Each structure stands twice: as structure tokens, then as C-alpha cells.
Amino acid sequence: MEEKIRYVGIDLGKRTYQCAILDEKAKNQQFNGKADGIGLERLAKRLGNDDLVGLEAGNNAFNIARYLTDRVGCHVVVLNPGKLAMIYQSLKKTDREDAVQIARLLQRNPVEELPTVPLPTKKEEEERSVVAELATYKADRTRYINRLHSVFLDSGITTITKADLKTASNREKNVLTLLTGRHVREARRLIEMVAYCEAIIEDLEQETKQFLESEKNTGILMSVPGVGPATALAFIAYVGDGSRFANADQVANYAGLTPRVDSSGETHRMGPISKRGCAYLRRVIVQAA
């Protein structure tokens, strides 16, 4: 008996999902639910192992894709939202319409031609989580130091630079000797926030080293000038062994490091990098360079 494939589009919100199911006769079924355990179980019961399911990469997408694959046995693809022009150029932009558009995209195109995002392993997800958290707290530390520097400027002290506030001892010394009144109290609160971020950064850097100890490509990556543990882990977490990329140009495009191209007639201009791709990977590569 010939299998009847249904095409399932799922539009995910932070706490809910909207689902559209198209069968071979183009009949459209729609329903929604909460993206919690009970809601996902109800979704799983309405799907079959012959269904082709598509959902955009985003909030909880990988976890839901893995859950449906294991629970139902259906084929689930995670789609790159940046390349779904048919949805984002639609004049009718609703969750219901997005779910239908995803289902139609699956119906009209072979899976190998879809803009899919590879489903990461649990270990890759953990490594990406460390990379993202480390980037967040480093950015927070920089923001607090910048704010601390502005406190000195507000009090009329222009001889202190941001570099003078990089270490805990320098921060404490400059605050005690140069600031007075309320500026001291504000500066002390900022110093506490910087110290808090630095303590977490130290823990995350230790966790980064632990992940790298179990990766076979760590030595190769760390041998590149300018590449440290944070850059190496980001590359491993997002690029892996590189087997899913055909060449280095694809990796550069994935990281958003390829130039923008403006072509009109015989005029071809190469602009700045596109910055469309993996922001965490691009950030550490730029810093390493």
C-alpha cells in the first residue's frame, strides 16, 4: 500500500505553537496548543510516522524536533528563518498563515532543497549554551566597566581610561582615591557587578576547558595564532568537524563573514560583511583575527 504523506507546518511562539496539516488533497487542518509537556503530547498524538514536519529554528525548536522524532518517528526538519522569504514577504503575517506557509513549503519542495538547519546533538547544544553564556557575561562585564568609566567622567576626572579599570585592584584604588560623595557609592555597586561577572566568567572558562579536553580537534584549532579556548569551543559547537560544509566559503557564509554584493548591469560592488549567520561564531572569529 502506498504511504500517504501529510505535510505539517509548525509555527512556534515562546509558550505556544500553531500547527497546520496538509494532506495529498490539500485539505488544511489547523490547531494550536501550549509548548509544554501536555501540549506537545497532544501534538504528538495527532501526527503519524509518515508525516513530514517542518518548524522554524528558534525558541525550543531543537528540543521539540528531537521530541517529535523520538516520540512519533516522523521526519522533522528545522528551517532557517532567515531564508524563508516566502513567509516574511507575505502580506498576511499571522501564526496561522505562517504554519500553512511552512506546510506548503514542505509540500512543494524536496527536503534536500529546503533551507534546513542541522539538528545539533545534546553535547553540541551544551557547548553552544556555554559559548552563549560566556559571551553574555563578557558583554555585561564590558558594559559595567564602561558605566564605571562614565562615573569618573561625570565627576570631572578625565585622566582615568577604561584600561585603568580592567583589574580589580586598579578599580578599587581609583575609586577610593579619586571619587567622592555619591559617585563613590555608585562606583562601588558597579565594582560589585563587575566582580560578579568575572567570577561567572572564570567558572565558564573552566567549563570551556573541560569540554575541549574531550574534543579531538582541539589541538588543531588551538594551534592557529589568535585562537584561544573560547574561539575553539565556538567553532566546535557550531561547525563541528566541518563535514556538513563543502568548502571554507560555506563556513564563512555560515558565520556571516562573506561580503555583501551589489550588482547592477556591469557594476559589481563588494561591501562589508553580511553579518547574516551565526553571531556567536562570527564574534569570536573577529576577535581572534
The SS3 assignment for 18 reads strand
pTM for this model (two decimals): 0.79
Give tens-digit pLDDT for 133-155.
999 999 999 999 999 999 999 99
Q: d(Cα 193, Cα 164) in Å, to the nearest integer?
A: 17
Q: d(Cα 103, Cα 87) in Å, to the nearest integer?
A: 11
> pLDDT tier at 13 (50, 70, 90 boundaries)?
confident
Identify the weakest region by mean pLDDT among 71-75, 96-100, 227-231, 257-261. Answer: 257-261
Predicted confidence (pLDDT) at residue 16 exceeds the cutoff of 60:
yes
Strand partners, 53: 8, 76
DSSP secondary structure code for residue 32 in this structure: E
**Measuring CA to CA, how many Å separate 281 from each of 4, 110, 181?**
41, 29, 43
User: What share of the chain has pLDDT > 90, as a percent?
Assistant: 62
> pLDDT tier at 57 (50, 70, 90 boundaries)?
confident
**Of 82, 43, 83, 46, nearest to 63 (Cα)?**
43
pLDDT at 229: 94
pLDDT at 51: 94
Q: CB–CB of 26/5 below 8 Å?
A: no
DSSP E strands: which ranges in 91-203? none
**Of 79, 130, 136, nearest to 236 (Cα)?**
130
Q: CB–CB of 53/8 below 8 Å?
A: yes
Winning range, highest mean pLDDT, from 4-8, 20-24, 222-226 = 222-226
**Of 20, 42, 21, nearest to 94 (Cα)?**
20
**Of 254, 248, 246, 247, nearest to 274 (Cα)?**
254
Predicted confidence (pLDDT) at residue 184 exceeds the cutoff of 90:
yes
User: What share of the chain has pLDDT > 70, as a percent?
Assistant: 94
Average pLDDT, the chain: 89
DSSP secondary structure code for residue 72 in this structure: T
pLDDT at 1: 39
